[in-house]
């Protein structure tokens, strides 16, 4: 299997060109190649497939083999792959996903994509859209216990579910303990992505991510969208912010027409051949 390793702000995936080859049992392949000791090492597997309604279709699997609905950093890299490898001829690229068509606006340097702006669509707040079993029309500043810490949680869906926590400091967060605790809470029957945040100013926020199915990651694109929306929702952040993640920075904007736009880098690391076993 031929593959390309790519990352967006450190959120790395293995990409396979589905226009040229097919992957049997993608969930199993995702688990094997994602292992950072015995595999290629990644946060998951993304297949770039043909589409009848867009330039291509993104099919995404987490490191544990579970299917992901949407991936913000991943789709930026898909856009770069499509343009750099001449599948797309224009810098504006519609991409089909399990959360609908997302439009990528690529910034080109020479003949290569360096950054991508994605229309990530509209945030959803209804518990039924997030798959969170709590009463009410929205889950905003809802107090929950996280390993003995009382934290205020705001829930947002960006095609996948997110629980956002704004804290005074990240010093009291043990990500590999608190992350899986939140991910597996009974109120989230489909599990959830958890984001622990400190607001540095109304336009800057620092985030630690725990992604369902992948664990701690250097960045989470849909997660930064959720943080942007949640911060504005509770009145502590502006609608245009810079998110500081372990892998770098992402620029987010929640526009007046209720769409969230994310801008960030996309990097091709290397290509290779995966020998199936």
pLDDT single digits (tens) 103-130: 999 999 999 999 999 999 999 999 999 9
| Chain centroid to CA 25 | 23
Q: How far apart are CA 231 and CA 249, in angstroms?
A: 17
Q: Is the pLDDT of residue 12 over 70?
A: yes
- Bridge pairing between strands 56-62 and 92-97: parallel
Average pLDDT, stretch 170-199?
97
| SS3 call for 202 | coil
Is 134 within 8 Å of 126 (Cβ atoms)?
Answer: no
Phi and psi at 193, nearest 5°, equal: -85, 135
DSSP class per residue in 146-194? ETTEEEEEEEEESSSEEEEEE-S-STT--HHHHHHHHHT-TT-TT--EE
Q: Is the pLDDT of residue 182 over 80?
A: yes
- Bridge pairing between strands 67-68 and 44-49: unpaired
**Per-residue pLDDT reduced to its tens digit, 185-194:** 999 999 999 9
Q: Is the pLDDT of residue 276 over 80?
A: no
All structural domains of the chain, each given as residue ranges with its CATH number in brackets, are 2-119+264-273 (3.10.310.10), 127-258 (3.10.310.10)
Average pLDDT, stretch 70-78?
97
Query: What are the residue numbers of the active site?
Result: 71, 220
**Per-residue pLDDT reduced to its tens digit, 21-41:** 999 999 999 999 999 999 999
| Chain centroid to CA 107 | 20
What confidence tier does 277 reach under pLDDT thresholds 50, 70, 90? low
Average pLDDT, stretch 176-205?
98
């Amino acid at each position: 299997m031929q593959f390309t390793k790519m990352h967006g702000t450190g959120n790395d995936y293995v990409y396979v060109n589905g226009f040229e080859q097919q992957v049997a049992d993608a969930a199993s392949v995702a688990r094997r190649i994602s292992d950072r000791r015995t595999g290629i090492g990644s946060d998951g597997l993304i297949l770039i497939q043909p589409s009848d309604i867009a330039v291509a279709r993104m099919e995404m699997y987490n490191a544990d083999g579970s299917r992901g609905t949407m991936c913000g950093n991943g789709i930026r890299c898909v856009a770069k792959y499509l343009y750099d490898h001449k599948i797309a001829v224009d810098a504006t690229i519609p991409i089909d996903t399990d959360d609908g068509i997302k439009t990528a606006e690529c910034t080109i340097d020479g003949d290569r994509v360096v950054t991508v702006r994605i229309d990530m669509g509209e945030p959803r707040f209804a518990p039924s859209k997030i798959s969170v079993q709590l009463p009410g029309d929205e889950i905003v500043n809802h107090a929950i216990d996280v390993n003995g810490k009382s934290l205020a949680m705001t829930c947002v869906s960006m095609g996948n579910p997110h629980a956002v926590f704004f804290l005074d400091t990240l010093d009291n967060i043990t990500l590999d303990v608190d992350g899986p605790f939140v991910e597996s809470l009974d109120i989230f029957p489909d599990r959830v992505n958890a984001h622990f945040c400190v607001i540095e100013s109304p336009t800057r926020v620092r985030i630690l991510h725990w992604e369902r199915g992948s664990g701690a990651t250097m960045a989470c694109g849909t997660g930064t969208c959720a943080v942007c929306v949640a911060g504005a929702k509770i009145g502590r952040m502006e609608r245009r912010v810079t998110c500081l993640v372990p892998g770098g920075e992402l620029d987010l904007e929640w526009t007046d027409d209720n769409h969230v736009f994310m801008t960030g880098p996309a990097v091709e690391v290397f290509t290779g051949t995966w020998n199936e076993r």
